[in-house]
Structure formats: C-alpha cells, structure tokens
Homo-oligomer: A and B are copies of this chain.
C-alpha cells in the first residue's frame, strides 16, 4: 500500500502543532440509530501500520459502539490551532472488540492497550459510562493489567474515503478535496474555500 496523498499534509500539521497535547484531539461524528447526529472528542492514536486507517480507542459500553453497529459511516473534524487548518475525514469505521476474529487486528488491539497510560486504562474499569454517578469507591478499581486488555476495551479504525483540507492561513484560504475510488486510488482537486 502507498500512503494516501493527504498523509503528508496531515503529518506536517501534526508535527507543527506537536507542542499542543490537544492537537491530537479531534471530533468524531456518527449517526444514532434514530437518525440523529452524534459528535464527541476522541484522541488520535496513530495510523494502523501499513494502512491509511486512523486508530482510536473506545469502550464497548459507550453509546458510539451501538451507533457504529447500526451505521458505520463517520466524519471526523480535526482542527489544528497553531497552523489554523482543518481536516475533515470521512470514511468507514471498524470496531475491533475482544471477540475480533482476525489474529492480526486482535494483536494490534493488545498493543494499543499496552501503550495507553495507566490512567487511560483505568477508565475502562470504571462503572458504566452515562449511568447515574457511582460512588468514589466505584472509581478506585484495581489497576488493570497492561498485558491483557479488559473485555470492554475496543480499538476503533477509520478507513478514509474522502478528505477535505482547509488552510485558513492562505491568502486567500486554500482548500483541497481528496477522494478515493473503489480501487483505493486517490485524486485531489484544489477548490474554493
């Protein structure tokens, strides 16, 4: 596989915004089973090796997992404050849960778990998200093993099919649309911002 042509622009943005921890935070829009949009911040966890797929992590108990099972299209919006540019990345989501049949992806799930901070891993041992607030003791579980992911830990992959890159800093602004065909060939076009 070859890197998609938008990868270099995104790498450049990540590099130039690296001093801001929240430059790795982006907003993931999905569609709820009732057809209404949902939107939340997620943390970029790098690309799946040898692919153009973005990695995130999520909890099997979170609402987005049900949404994805129902409708696996998503669009992330990623704004980089320092360089004043935005990437809108649309594509298909794949959830890699504890039961995932492919050994290779199951192994990536374990690696991503091991690379999380202890604090991030601990959140997967907290009581059910969105349910009435638990007691302080509920939030002080024993730290999970770094080797064996908790059952509810999921890796989430976004396989992009279109990317809309907007640079606000241009004079005037610059904007490019990247889209891939069925053979995973990417084309790019400069468009009006």
Contact = CB atoms under 8 A, between A and B. Distances in A.
A123 B170 CA distance: 13
Interface string A22-56: 10010111110001111111000000000000000
Contact residues on A (Cβ < 8 Å of other chain), bracket: 35 or more
Number of copies: 2
Contacts of A189: 132-133
A172 B35 contact: no
A134 B192 contact: yes
A191 B79 contact: no
Contact of A41 (B74, B77, B133): B77
A27 B192 contact: no
Contacts of A192: 126-134, 138
Nearest to A130: B191
Contacts of A38: 29, 75, 88, 90
A77 B39 contact: yes
Contacts of A106: none
Closest 10 CB pairs of A and B: A29-B29, A29-B39, A27-B27, A39-B77, A133-B190, A29-B37, A139-B172, A39-B75, A36-B73, A27-B77
